[in-house]
A = this chain, B = another copy of it.
Amino acid sequence: MTKETKDIQKKYQVGVEATLEVIGGKWKPLIIYNLMTGRKRTSELRRLIPNITQKMLTNQLRGLENDGIITRKIYKQVPPKVEYELTAYGWGLKGALDSLCYWGEDHLDKVHGDKSKVLEECNASQN
């Protein structure tokens, strides 16, 4: 193996891993997906993602914010109001996420049958 091959191999690995750190985890894809339909309050996200705990929601939102995927806007009022919104940078993930969705749906169909409507559903987040 040449040094160049080793470098490329490493780049490939760290590239993939870097993305998986941003969109991986149990809830991040779903949070991003829901923000693709527009800015949302914390309570809206909780309603849209019923099974997530408050702790995990905050965790994942902070992670996405630190990676520049979303913004967090705080309205100084009582009771508090916070809104999350995808950044332009975050929208750049759409292609990768759609790839994952499409392949995954296709894969599940291969295992379980029923191949209808795969494409439409994976692209349903489009504007």
Q: A residues bordering B, Cβ < 8 Å? A: 1, 7-9, 11-20, 22, 24, 29-30, 33-34, 47-48, 67-68, 89, 92-93, 95-97, 99-108, 110, 121-122, 124-125
Q: How far is the CB of A113 from chain B (nearest CB, A)?
A: 15
Number of copies: 2
A20 touches B24 (CB 8 A): yes
B33 touches A9 (CB 8 A): yes
B48 touches A15 (CB 8 A): no
Chain A interface mostly: helix
- Residue ID in chain B nearest A121 by CB atoms: B11
Q: Which 4 A-B pairs have the closest CB atoms?
A: A18-B104, A15-B104, A15-B101, A19-B104
